[in-house]
Amino acid sequence: MPHELIEVAATTGYRAVCLFLESMDVLPRMPRFSLVDDRAARREAKVRMTDLGISLDLAYPFTLAGRTEVRDFKPSLEAAADLDARFVNVLMYDRDPERRLERLAQFCALATSFDLGVVVEFFPASQIPSLTTAAAQLRALDGGDTIGINVDLLHLYRSGGDIAQLAATSPEHILYAQYCDAPLQRDAAQHAYEASSDRMLAGDGALDLRGFSQALPPNCLASIELPRDAAIDRGLSQQDRARAALSSVLRAIER
């Protein structure tokens, strides 16, 4: 649950969290909750963050598809703003390029009205599959300095990108980043499962975390996205998994 994640973050050395505002059917291990509809749960999360000195970097899930009505996101954006989120994360699945850009512009305008920044997360299975396409979308949007890209290191590699490509991207477009590790290659049929459930601790795979860190703009916020269903199945606690993730990433980027 969100308040539990906040407590785990505070006790294992983190300064911020990324929160889903409501559970998703495609993530069956996630408990059922809604910080959008359940105001008591939202208040509890907010109090825990305030008391424990934890901030909210990124709020999920916001998905723009062909039938999306941007106005329908207003309650979720209101909840994100109430929780003092820095950014909201957007995935884009609309196949129509003109409508996709138009909807993104509408969404960004609505988010900005709540004083929320927006980061577009590229993902190989989406209609913004790579860093190159995300940067092109941002150039077409021209949304200002609170609209940018979330670069997930796993998605960077699985989309055919690399650290050199990241380093060559306009730094003003890179507003957020997410760390994990993985093999350099994996069967494409496993990519969705890997992303949601089977990432590796830093140092257990072959991704260049130190190069990734050095290629990010100096003021870029970053987090660790490292779901490991196998660790849950082995009975490792939330605290143990959180500590292991943080310590592995710190070792990888500081060595």
Query: Domain span at residue 202?
Result: 2-254
Kindly report the average pLDDT of the chain as a whole number. Answer: 95
Stretch 174-178: mean pLDDT: 98
Please tell me the predicted confidence (pLDDT) of residue 29.
83
Residue 7 pLDDT more than 90?
A: yes
Backbone angles phi, psi at 54, to 5 degrees: -105, 135
pLDDT tens digits, 95-128: 999 999 999 999 999 999 999 999 999 999 999 9
pTM, two decimal places: 0.95
Share of the chain above pLDDT 90, in %: 92
Residue 26 has pLDDT above 80, yes or no: yes
Rounded mean pLDDT of 34-47? 96
Tens-place pLDDT, residues 186-244: 998 999 999 999 999 999 999 999 999 999 999 999 999 999 999 999 999 999 999 99
pLDDT in tens, 53-106: 999 999 999 999 999 999 999 999 999 999 999 999 999 999 999 999 999 999
Provide the pLDDT confidence category of residue 142 given band limits of 50, 70 and 90: confident
Predicted pLDDT of residue 255: 63
Total number of domains in the chain:
1
Assign residue 197 the CATH number of its domain.
3.20.20.150
Q: Is the pLDDT of residue 131 over 70?
A: yes
Report the pLDDT value the prediction gives residue 30, as an integer from 0 to 100: 87
* Nearest alpha-carbon partner for 147 in 120, 110, 129: 120
